[in-house]
Amino acid sequence: MGEENHSFVAEFVFLGLSQDVQTQLLLFILFLTIYLLTVLGNLLIIILIFLDPRLHTPMYFFLRNLSFADLCFSTSIVPQVLVHFLVKRKTISFSGCMAQIIVFLLVGCAECALLAVMSYDRYVAVCKPLRYATVMTQQACLRLAVGSWAGGALVSLVDTTFTFQLPYQGRNVINHYFCEPPALLRLASADTHETETAIFAMGVAILLAPVALILVSYGNIVSAVIQMQSGAGRLKAFSTCGSHLIVVVLFYGSGIFAYMRPNARTTKEQDKTISVFYTVVTPMLNPIIYSLRNKEVKGALRKLAGRKSFSRRR
């Protein structure tokens, strides 16, 4: 009877990253700076790849998809967090929470799949260079990209359905700074074992399976590079794959820590720090890593800058 007297939750309240006013102001400045760099960096990558014909290759096609995913990923969370740094009561409606989880999971899981696809692209480029043009055709790349986004949509649908089919009555304070299934499940007014199992299974499908593909791809790449006779060839191969490998370690490392541990209900303060890393920091680092370590991207940037300076002189 006591449970029936509780009304269903209409909104959730976040505890956020800090309750101290000065700390929140500093975090606002930090998060705003990171978000602006994220938007500018990823938009720049997308524009450069679109404008420069030399970047119209499978690798940069997937990189453009990755930059778009990073842009959506960060935008689904950070603007709301920035607003919450400036207000005393940090709330989100039930439907808003659901929408945030749908977008967050769709884009995040699509990014997981895209990183695996990009590792396969590097494997074909290094280990089967003579067959690269016939394997990584425009049609094949489009199918891989669509499959990545479709996989993200499927995982998002399953996780969101299982999370929100649970009743939420009475408690509505989330010890987090955005709506994320592991934190939200702590407030459910029913047994969450089935939902946790479903989320864990989806995590295996979208996190561990791509990691396995990435490890196999890079295992073959390392083996092929070691057998190369040319030192310049080895350096070029490692340089091409190095940027992608750094992004993989950063994104998957934090994601697996957050979603693939047993007993996900026991969320601690350190989990929020890990979430900040893969929701806020990594989307900013991706364009920086790819642009600083990639000669083609830097060349396209110089070409674009030269074109602008020429038009000004005219």
Contact (Cβ atoms closer than 8 angstroms) between residue 274 and residue 258: yes
In this predicted model, what pLDDT tens digit does every residue of 18-63 receive, in sequence order? 888 899 999 999 999 999 999 999 998 899 888 888 888 998 999 9
Q: What is the 3-state secondary structure (H, E, C) of 206-225?
A: HHHHHHHHHHHHHHHHHHHH
Structure tokens at 64: 């453009």
Average pLDDT, the chain: 84
pLDDT for position 51: 85
In this predicted model, what pLDDT tens digit does every residue of 106-139 receive, in sequence order? 999 999 999 899 889 989 988 888 999 999 999 9
pLDDT for position 223: 83
> When comparing pLDDT for 209 and 246, which is higher?
209
Percent of the chain with pLDDT over 90: 40
Contacting residues for 111 by C-beta, under 8 A, at least 6 apart: 66, 69, 70, 73, 152, 251
In this predicted model, what pLDDT tens digit does every residue of 218-272 receive, in sequence order? 888 888 877 766 666 666 666 666 666 777 777 777 777 767 665 544 446 777 8
Concatenate the DSSP letters of all residues of 42-66 into one string.
Answer: HHHHHHHHHH-GGG-SHHHHHHHHH
Going by C-alpha positions, the residue among 132, 153, 285 that lies closest to residue 206 is 153
Contact (Cβ atoms closer than 8 angstroms) between residue 116 and residue 214: yes
pLDDT for position 217: 87
What pTM did the predictor assign? 0.85
Contacting residues for 231 by C-beta, under 8 A, at least 6 apart: none
Structure tokens at 36: 């602006």
Residue 276 identity (one-letter amino acid): V
Structure tokens at 4: 């029936």
Distance, in Å, from the CA atom of 217 to the CA atom of 212, rounded to the nearest integer, reads: 9
DSSP-derived secondary structure letter, 279: I
Could you tell me the strand order of the sheet in which 91-93 lies? Answer: 91-93, 11-14, 173-174
Mean pLDDT for the stretch of residues 209-224: 85
- At 91, give phi and psi (nearest 5°): -120, 160
Torsion, Cα of 272, 275, 281, 286 (10° steps): 170
Distance, in Å, from the CA atom of 111 to the CA atom of 108, rounded to the nearest integer, reads: 5
Residue 280 identity (one-letter amino acid): V
pLDDT for position 203: 84
pLDDT for position 3: 43
290 has a pLDDT exceeding 60: yes
pLDDT for position 306: 67
202 has a pLDDT exceeding 50: yes
pLDDT for position 266: 46
Domains of the chain: 11-313 (1.20.1070.10)
Contact (Cβ atoms closer than 8 angstroms) between residue 14 and residue 99: no
